[in-house]
Amino acid sequence: MKYISTRGQVEPVEFRQAVLMGLADDGGLLIPERIPDAAGRMDAWRGLGYADLAFEVIRLFVTDIPESDLRALIDRTYADAFDPAPAPTVRVGDLHVMELWHGPTLAFKDIALQLLGNLFEYILAREHTTLNILGATSGDTGSAAICGVRGREGIRIFVMHPHGGVSEIQERQMTTVLDDNVHNLAVTGTFDDCQRIMKDLAADLDFKRPYRIGAVNSVNWARVLAQIVYYVKAAFDVQQATGAAAARVSVPTGNFGNILAGWYAMQMGAPISQLLLATNRNNILDRFFAAGTYSLGTVYKTFSPSMDIQVASNFERYLYYRTGEDAEALRAMMARFRKTGELAVPPGPDGVVDPAIASGMADEDQTLATIRRTWREHEYLLDPHSAVGVCVAERLAGDGGDPIVCLATAHPAKFPAAIEQATGEDLAHHPAIDALAEMETRCTVVPNDKEKVRRFIVETVGARS
């Protein structure tokens, strides 16, 4: 399996090179040259444990790592870091909820980033090289990425977050990690600014190559690949519980990486009939799937900060397929978007942009009401991001169709203020979160300026790799 760029100006590369490259060298995103058809394998995969299922899915995309080594990497990733399991599914009223927050930082990002940390270490050892990771986070990616690579040989990580734009707990999860190879940068801007700086620096090959700049954001294909696994498992779990032929999956969505993994799972033949895209007030993606127009708006701060995004970096992968895999057309589309802040994809003759993806938005009042109602009726506590997904799922469930599983993307203890406002009770606790209050922190505030970020990296790294 080779990997190509959405913008068509990079020679195909193997998986290991794709992992280290992160963002494609032409500024696009790496994707597999083809999507494997696994429809005929689904019956054999039902009933597999998580690590076994992960191996079966991932090995279809990885042909330059011996299967015995890949198996060992996957087993090590999912053996001990998740309690009690990476992705258990529970029943909550008429819905099913897949809990993706059982990893070390209590967010769904752990499922992919624990694996990515092991892949980085494995590949760097065989390439006899080093890596300087530059990441941007709207909340959970940063702490999960740091946890995945802290203390590892040959790796430094620089994580940018919007100064004052993540929750206090999300910030402390990052800044209390004091390992020498971890550097937290609070950028005086929005997450979109952080992401723009990351992409601009990664596209500067005169900087990227000598300084060995890599990525842990979902621009890195390995992130999306690891997430495909739990979509297959979610569909199996719902089938087993209900006897239905397929499931719908509701996904709290900001940067489009998570739901994109579900889209790939559908293309592979997983028994998923539709994805339900759920946004908060920052509803650029909901507006796109409603009318086909993707246009920038104001970034609002909400109770679900990981979704406070306008420019969804993974959307380019989806648009590549919507252009008929025409890299030249995609390049022109992205150039127009960068210039005007808007792009469009015409809906079909039935007025539907994509029948595989329905969408909806939950505002702040609706999010809090969903948390409150779910707790009172089912004694089940949702974090604000997961509540957005449940709110939209409940609304779209009225359309009929297959049963719905909602992805719960973070533990509620990460957002205690929102939980208390919703329920009137101090319910959101976890020992790992409570311990953060007494820990020392380290962070550098930097201007919203890519040259200042570049200078910080150069001064920290010192002599070029």
238-263 residue pLDDT tens: 999 999 999 999 999 999 999 999 99
How buried is 398 (Cβ within 10 angstroms: 0-12 exposed, 13-18 middle, 19+ buried)?
A: exposed
Residue 82 has which token pair?
Answer: 């998740």
Q: What angle do CA 433, 437, 440 make, to 5 degrees?
A: 115
Q: Which CATH number does 89-106+224-431 carry?
A: 3.40.50.1100
Looking at residue 62, the DSSP 8-state letter turns out to be: -
Share of the chain above pLDDT 70, in %: 99
Find the mean pLDDT for residues 72-100: 96
Distance, CA of 20 to CA of 216 (rounded, Å): 10
Q: Are 234 and 246 in contact (CB under 8 A)?
A: no
Residue 428 has which token pair?
Answer: 């959101």
Runs of H (alpha helix) within 1-66: 15-21, 42-45, 50-58
Tell me: pLDDT of 464 over 60.
no
Predicted confidence band of residue 48 (pLDDT cuts 50, 70, 90): very high
Looking at residue 344, the DSSP 8-state letter turns out to be: E
Q: Are 424 and 373 in contact (CB under 8 A)?
A: no
Half-sphere exposure of 272 (CA within 13 A, CB side): 32
In this prediction, residue 138 carries a pLDDT of 81
Q: Report pTM.
A: 0.94
Find the mean pLDDT for residues 320-338: 96
Q: What angle do CA 100, 105, 111 make, to 5 degrees?
A: 40
ω into 84 cis (within 30 of 0): yes
Q: What is the DSSP string of 191-220?
A: HHHHHHHHHHHHH-HHHHTTTTEE--STTS
Across all residues in the chain, what is the average pLDDT? 95
Q: Are 381 and 412 in contact (CB under 8 A)?
A: yes
Q: Are 404 and 250 in contact (CB under 8 A)?
A: yes
Rounded to 10°, the helix 450-461/191-203 angle is 60
Tell me: pLDDT of 463 over 80.
no
Residue partners of 241: CB distance under 8 A and separation at least 6? 89, 91, 96, 403
Hunting for tokens 């809906």 — which residue is that? 347
pLDDT tens per residue across span 189-227: 999 999 999 999 999 999 999 999 999 888 999 999 999
The partner residues of 131 in beta bridges, in order of sequence, read 155
Distance, CA of 207 to CA of 216 (rounded, Å): 18
Q: Which residues are catalytic?
A: 109
Residue 461 has which token pair?
Answer: 């790294």
Distance, CA of 371 to CA of 128 (rounded, Å): 49
Rounded to 10°, the helix 327-340/315-322 angle is 130
Predicted confidence band of residue 141 (pLDDT cuts 50, 70, 90): confident
Please state whether 126 falls in left (phi above 0), alpha (psi between -120 and 50) or beta. alpha
The partner residues of 273 in beta bridges, in order of sequence, read none
pLDDT tens per residue across span 356-374: 999 999 999 999 999 999 9
Find the mean pLDDT for residues 88-93: 98
CA distances to 166, 362, 404 from 252, in Å: 17, 10, 13
pLDDT tens per residue across span 156-173: 999 999 999 888 999 999
Predicted confidence band of residue 145 (pLDDT cuts 50, 70, 90): very high
Phi and psi at 365, nearest 5°, equal -65, -40
Runs of H (alpha helix) within 46-185: 50-58, 67-79, 109-127, 140-149, 168-175
Domain spans of the chain, in order of start: 89-106+224-431
- CA 114 to chain centroid, in Å, comes to 13
In this prediction, residue 465 carries a pLDDT of 43
Distance, CA of 269 to CA of 21 (rounded, Å): 28
Sign of the Cα pseudo-torsion (206, 210, 215, 221, in order): positive
